[in-house]
Structure formats: C-alpha cells, structure tokens
Amino acid sequence: MEIKFKLNGKEIKAEAEADTILLDFLREQGCYSVKRGCETANCGLCTVLMNKKSVLSCSILAVQADGQEIVTLEGMQKEAEEFGDFLANEGAEQCGFCNPGFIMNVFAMLEEIEEPTEEEILEYLAGNLCRCSGFVGQTRSILKFLKYKKGGKKEA
C-alpha cells in the first residue's frame, strides 16, 4: 500500500506491506532511535509521537501512519539534547538504551500536562522500563527540567 505522512517534518510517500508494523517501517526510513525491546507493548522503547501523542510503534501498523504526523527522536534533536543534559546530570542515563522512548514520553506528557506533579510524572512514565535504575534520577531530571523551562536557572 502507498502511504503518505509527515515524518520529522518531511513529507513521506512510501510503500508499506499491510502487515508491517510501524517500528520496522520507521527503522527502514532511517529512524534508528526507535528500538525493539519487548515486542509486547510493555517496555516503551519503541515510543514515537503520532500527532503529538505517544504511541508504541510496535503495536500499530505502518499503514495507520497514513495522513498522520510522526515524530521520532531524530526529529527532536535540539529538545532531546537539552533534556538529555538534565538526565546526565542526575545520573539517569546509565546505559542509554531506554532514553529515546523515555524522552519521547516526557515530551508527549508536556504536551498534555502543563505542570505535572511528581505523581503524574511517575504515572505517565509507568510504561517505560529501565533496567539500570528505579526512575529516581529520571524523575529528578524531569522536575529540574520543568523548573528550568519555567525560567529558572540550570542547576549543576
């Protein structure tokens, strides 16, 4: 099937088999930040934004992207780098494998919740698995990032 959609700000027109999952299709398009983890829609590694909402690209078909706007980490390099500094400063990026899906979920959360509480952050990110930490550093990094975005200074 021919599908047309916007990927990271660029119009894409491509062929996709009816049974191709979005994760595989995006990797074929060069979006290697989209990772395969559990293959059961439980780990969050394959998270992308579809129309500014987080979706698990392992659980939807590529043809469902037709007419949609998809953003991967490759399309958010500046934002990801800015937030990534906060992750690193809190020691929350140990192996980095979960970071792309985690970062995508953070930005989806910020689209939905203007000023999330710590409880809302933990609830929103519950679908992201990190085997290196218990999300304490990630939560601290998000809270410091939010404070910074409100006009505060970047803490060391």
**Tens-digit pLDDT profile for residues 21-35:** 999 999 999 999 999
Residues 6+ apart with CB under 8 A from 67: 4, 5
27-31, 125-129, 136-140: range with lowest mean pLDDT: 125-129
pLDDT bracket for residue 76 (50, 70, 90): very high
How far apart CA 23 and CA 34 sit, in angstroms, is 7
Check residue 155 and give its pLDDT: 62
pTM recorded for the entire structure: 0.88
Check residue 156 and give its pLDDT: 55
How far apart CA 51 and CA 71 sit, in angstroms, is 8
- Choice between 16 and 153, residue whose per-residue pLDDT is larger: 16
Q: H or E element: which one contains 148?
A: helix 136-149
Residue 19 has pLDDT above 60, yes or no: yes
Residue 154 has pLDDT above 70, yes or no: no
Check residue 4 and give its pLDDT: 98
